[in-house]
Amino acid sequence: MRMLEEFFPEFTQKLDEIDKLYEEKRKIDEKTYQFICFALSIKGRSKPCVLKHFKGALEAGATVEELSYIFALTMREAAGADDCWTHDVLGDWQDIIAGNIDCSCSK
């Protein structure tokens, strides 16, 4: 965001406005909000956001044990989704081996 803050500050200001709107309209408690953001940050592989929401969850009353559960749940759900998606993609593996499916990729 540093580059955007420098070269497109109007965009980052709008993101700040969205954050304020989310906070004003939030229908869930702070701890639940932090759990969701923590999980999304893990999946999004954003180190600053993982740290921010880990700390935010603790400040909202979460325990490290609860955060460990959210961490494990995020990893498990991601693994399940990756497993299902990959099986769908490779469902015709015999046709791939036989050369009957074009991957449309450069060689």
**To the nearest 10°, the Cα dihedral for 55, 58, 60, 62?**
140
Residue 50: Cβ within 10 Å count = 19
> Does 104 have pLDDT greater than 80?
no
Q: Which of 15-24, 39-48, 96-105 has the lowest mean pLDDT?
A: 96-105
- Per-residue pLDDT tens over the stretch 10-27: 999 999 999 999 889 999
Q: What is the longest distance spanned by two Cα atoms in the chain?
A: 57
Mean pLDDT of the chain: 92
CA distances 96 to 83, 87, 92, 99, Å, are 18, 13, 6, 5
Residue 52, classed as helix, strand or coil, is helix
Handedness of CA 72, 75, 77, 80 (dihedral sign): negative
What is the predicted pLDDT for the residue at 103?
A: 76
Taking CA atoms, 7 is separated from 1, 3, 10, 18, 100, in Å, by 10, 6, 9, 19, 49
